Each structure stands twice: as C-alpha cells, then as structure tokens.
Amino acid sequence: MNLDLARYFFPEGLLDYFDIISHKTVEDQVHFYLEEKNILPLEYKDEIAKSKGFTPEVTVEDFPLRGKPVLLHIKRRRWTLVESGKIIKRDWKIVAKGTRITSEFASFLKGILR
C-alpha cells in the first residue's frame, strides 16, 4: 500500500507510529491491521529498553470508505526498561472515551448530530 496515499485514510499522525501489516475486505467491511513501530515514547528516550511484544489487539471503527465500514485492528507495543524492569507503553488518545471509534470519527459524528 502506498504510504503517502494511506495517510489520507487514517487519523492524523497514526502512520508515524504504526506500520500497516495487512488489509483486506470481508463482507463489505475494510479491515486494516496495524502494529506499533519500535519507537520508544519521548519520556523514555534516554533509557535503555527492550521491546517485549504487543498488548492484545483492539479493534476500532474509523471513517467509512466509499460507504464501507472501516475497522482498524491495532496492536500496541510494550517495552521493559532494562535498569528498573518497569513495563511501559505509549499513552494513546486515538480512541474516543467510552467508544470503540477513533476520536476524529467521534468528533465528526458529534458535529453532524447537532
């Protein structure tokens, strides 16, 4: 998938931190599978950390494409700080609180329902 073009389909900044692993269309739904890149959160940039895999996948609904629902299957990365053994992960505000849709999509829906 062309990343320059893909940036128009996803919430702003998402592809700075996630790789598109795969995509498919199933029963008129578009599914994108994303994994967080191995980039430490800024607050830990001076620490030595080891990637320890991913958190369980979450599925989030995003803006429809050509009338088809879009589902983002997101796997967030976690790291262990070598010195302290503390497990860390990036703090994401992608999902609107209390929903399973992206914040951008929630704001859009809120705007049209007023």
pLDDT for the residue numbered 114: 46
In this predicted model, what pLDDT tens digit does every residue of 13-49 receive, in sequence order? 778 888 999 999 999 999 999 998 998 888 888 899 9
User: What are the boundaries of each domain within the chain?
Assistant: 3-112
Q: Residue 64 in 3-state DSSP? A: strand
pLDDT in tens, 40-87: 888 888 899 999 999 899 888 888 888 899 888 989 899 999 999 999
The pair of three-digit structure tokens given for residue 13, joined into one six-digit string: 């900044």
Contact 57, 75 (CB under 8 A): yes
pTM of the model: 0.76
d(CA 27, CA 101): 19
pLDDT band at 113 (very low <50, low <70, confident <90, very high): very low
Element (H, E) at 111: helix 103-112
Averaged confidence pLDDT in the chain: 80
